[in-house]
Structures are given as C-alpha cells and as structure tokens.
Amino acid sequence: MNPQEIKDFLKSIKGTDIEELDYQNGTNSFYFKKGAVDIEAVPVAPAAAEPVCEEESTLVTIKSTMVGTFMSAPNNDKPPFIKDGASVDKGQRIGQIEAMKIIKDVTSSVKGKVVKILVSNGQSVEYGQELFVVDTK
C-alpha cells in the first residue's frame, strides 16, 4: 500500500467503532490504534473521613483515555504544566501522554482548582487511570 491508500483507508474507518487494527498482506503490514486523548470528568466519591453529602461534592477526576507515559512538563528544563493548588480553566493543557513517540496533550474538562495530582512525571498510565482531582467550586 502506498501512503495515500493508507490515508484513504484510515479516513474510511474514522467514523467506525474500530479501535485497533493489524493489517498484513504479503510483504505489506501496518498496525493502527486510535489514540484519542479525550478526558472524562467523573465525580469523585467523598473520602470516608470527610462526611460530605454527594450532592455537595464538587470534586471531579480527570482520567486518561490512553496508555502511555505521563509527562508533567514539556521537557526537563521547563516547569510543570500545573501544580497542586493551581487554578485550571476548561480546555487548559495540564499534562501530556507519550506513546510510541507520539505526544498527546491532556486538557482539563472542567474549570476549578487542582486539589491533587495523582501521577508523577515519567509514570506509566493506563486507560481510565485517574490523573488529577479538581474542585469545581
């Protein structure tokens, strides 16, 4: 397959629910895996030590939807994207995940204050793993 055929093929499966594909035909082969980094905002259950009613909870977790290595800064010479206690806006870049030399931004899906960063720089992360806790008050 030439590069244009591959591009056309990938466009044709873009709207499908195909997540992963391993194609082999004679000497030609390629592996494809969708790498979307959509971040979900899911309410966090309050800790047992803090008797907070669920209706009053304003904490949400930001989760990863891909497997890779979490990076808290663009490189070792730069400061982290975000720190505990910092304010964050919806859509703001708060980290990056690298997988197979492809770097995807992790962006906040909510506006609020970062209560806790649950992963450290260079840590491997899994699909659905909680990365940040944000208070949306």
Reported as a single tens digit per residue, the pLDDT across 43-76 is: 444 444 444 444 556 888 888 878 999 988 888 8
CA distance 127 to 63: 8
How far apart are the C-alpha atoms of 99 and 79, rounded to whole Å?
Answer: 21
Provide the pLDDT confidence category of residue 26 given band limits of 50, 70 and 90.
low
Tens digits of residue pLDDT in 74-107: 888 888 888 888 899 998 899 889 888 888 888 8
- pTM of the prediction? 0.55
Please say if the pLDDT value at position 123 is more than 80: yes
Hey, is 32 helix, strand or coil? Answer: strand
How high is the pLDDT of residue 33?
67
Which residues have a Cβ under 8 Å from the Cβ of 91 and sit 6 or more positions away?
Answer: 107, 108
Domains and CATH numbers, the chain: 3-33 (no CATH), 40-135 (2.40.50.100)
**Of 17-21, 50-54, 108-112, 132-136, which gets the smallest average pLDDT?**
50-54
For 7, 19, 35, 51, 57, the CA distances from 48, given in Å and listed in that order, are: 51, 38, 36, 6, 13
Query: What pLDDT was estimated at residue 31?
Result: 65
Q: What pLDDT, on the 0 to 100 scale, is given for residue 118?
A: 92
